[in-house]
Every structure is written in structure tokens, then in C-alpha cells.
Chains A and B, each alone.
Chain A
Amino acid sequence: MLGPTIDKFAAPKNAYSVACTLSPWFAWISILLFAGGVYGGLFYAPPDYDQGEAYRILYVHVPAAWMSMFVYVVMAGAGACGLIWKVKLMDAVARSCAPLGASFTLLALITGSIWGKPMWGTWWVWDARLTSELILLFLYLGYMALQSSIDDRRTAARAGAILALVGVVNIPIIHFSVEWWNTLHQGPTVTKLDEPSIHVTMLIPLLIMSIAYTTFFITMLMVRLRAEILDQERNTTWVRELVLGGTD
């Protein structure tokens, strides 16, 4: 149905070997980008005229927040593919996304809280942006709880995909929350393409950090996928050969 190329790629054995080959490359790219991005964010970018040096939290906060939403969309998309075409690899992708997305969301919430304290004078407010991001964390945690409480893989994947797809409605709410409601959280500075309100010397490290987080996600997705595939295929001949072959 999907054509011979995708079928071949989606074969667990091939996917496993692709993940093994590519993950070190993405890991190195990610390490280099993190080094460049952190250097840029802490040394190269000038202090903000309004927030002084405190705004440097932006370089770890904003990419984490972007990733928290991006990973969710990937998870729901993979879940949908697993649901529609019954591709086991897609179920494994969705399952691998959840803990990664949850940790990006947690990171966005914690770093946001640390940034909020000196700027707003409070660690937390129940405004639309913060609340919808917290709901995102609960969606990830709910998905993970669902996965671990259902023993049958197919049923767990199906239930998870439906939960993830229903939760997608939260993503535009997070994104537009700062425009729809009058929030304490500041409005967008980068995605206003007509007139970005961020200086280019501040923007470059942010873009580098964003690609660093993205490649980090891709790396860890592949590492998690390796384990998922091994677990899923543990009774097949190729896994037996792989495991026993590596002993001698």
C-alpha cells in the first residue's frame, strides 16, 4: 500500500540498522551546535536593553518550548500513521516520542518559571500560555501512563494514538494563547516574520540552539527506537542472531 521503498524501510531490521548508523552522526552534529549555541547565547549576544542579562535564559527556554510542541505533533502524526496503515514502526516512533516530549515540556516550564521570577516577580501564574503548556505535560504523562498500563502493544498503541490526536487541539491553543488572551507571558518575538522584534545578533544563537535541540531530539528518538524495535522483535531470528552474534 505504501510502496516497496517505504515497506522496506519500515521493516524493523532495516529501521534498526538505519538508526544504529545515523544516531552517532546526529549526536556529533548536536554536540557541535550546542557548543556554538551556548557560546553564542552567553558571550556573543549582547545584553537586552530591558531585561539585561536575565534574558539569556531565552536560549534554553524557547527551543525547549518549541520542541515540546514539535515532538507532540510528531508523536500524534506517527500515532495516526500507525492507526491508519498499521505500521508497527510508527507505533514505536510515537511511543519513543513521549518521554522526550515530556522532558522538553518540563524543561520549558522550569526554565520559564526561573525566568518569570526576576521578570514578573512570581514563579507561576495561571495565565493561558503557562496553563496550556502544563496541560501539554499532562497529555504526555497520560500517554505514557496509558502505554505502561496496557500490556498488549497493539491496543496500547491504538489507545495512545487516539489520546494523542485528541490532544493536538492543545497545540494551536499554546501557540496563539499570547494573542488570544491578555497574558503575562510576552508575545512572539521571532515568528512575527514581517518585523521580528529581536536583533539579529540575538537571533542567530537562538536559531543555532533550536537546531541543536532538534538534532538532539532526532538522535535520542533513534536511540529509543533501537530499544523499542529490539523489544518488539525479540522473538525473531535476526534479533537472536544479533544478540548471540555479539557475544563471541
Chain B
Amino acid sequence: MNEFLHMGGYAAYVWSAYGISLVILITNIILPIRREQALLHDIKKKLQREEHKS
């Protein structure tokens, strides 16, 4: 296991490349989902305000 983590001396390079890939991919999942939720919330609020006025 230690040998595997060591990556033949290239541990810092290999693991940072995989780590950064994971971070960028996960950011790519979170941002659009949050945007969709914010948008739904925004549209809902506007519609409720309109209903309130009429």
C-alpha cells in the first residue's frame, strides 16, 4: 500500500494531478445545480409577488 502511495517517487505529481481533476470536476457539478436552484427560487418569488399584487 505504501509503495502504491509512493508512486515510484512521483507521488506529489500523480496525486496532485488526480486531486485537482477531482476538484475541477466536482466544482463543475455543484455550480450548475446551485444555479438551477437559485433560478427556480428566483422565478418562484417573482411569481408569488405578482400574485400578491393582483
Interface residue ranges, A against B (CB under 8 Å):
38, 42-43, 47, 52-54, 56-57, 60-61, 64, 99-100, 103, 106-107, 110-111, 114-115, 117-118, 216, 220, 223-224, 226-227, 230-231, 234, 239-240, 243-244, 246-247
Given A220-B29, A240-B47, A244-B47, answer yes or no on A230-B40 (Cβ-Cβ < 8 Å): yes
Please tell me if the beta carbons of B7 and A114 are within 8 angstroms of each other in the complex. Answer: no
Number of residues on chain B facing chain A (CB within 8 A): 27
Given A103-B28, A223-B36, A227-B39, answer yes or no on A53-B47 (Cβ-Cβ < 8 Å): no
Please tell me if the beta carbons of A244 and B44 are within 8 angstroms of each other in the complex. Answer: yes
A145 CB → nearest B CB, Å: 17
Given A54-B7, A244-B47, A247-B44, answer yes or no on A231-B39 (Cβ-Cβ < 8 Å): yes
Q: Say if the beta carbon of B54 comes within 8 Å of chain A.
A: no
Please tell me if the beta carbons of A115 and B13 are within 8 angstroms of each other in the complex. Answer: yes
* Chain A binding surface, main DSSP class: helix
Q: Say if the beta carbon of B35 comes within 8 Å of chain A.
A: yes
A51 CB → nearest B CB, Å: 9
Docked CA distance A169–B31 (Å): 30
Nearest A-chain residue to B18, judged by Cβ: A60
Q: List 29 A-B contacts (CB under 8 A).
A: A38-B18, A42-B4, A43-B4, A52-B10, A53-B8, A53-B9, A54-B8, A54-B14, A57-B17, A57-B18, A60-B18, A60-B21, A61-B17, A64-B21, A103-B24, A103-B27, A106-B24, A107-B21, A114-B16, A114-B20, A117-B13, A223-B36, A224-B32, A226-B36, A227-B39, A231-B39, A239-B43, A244-B44, A246-B40
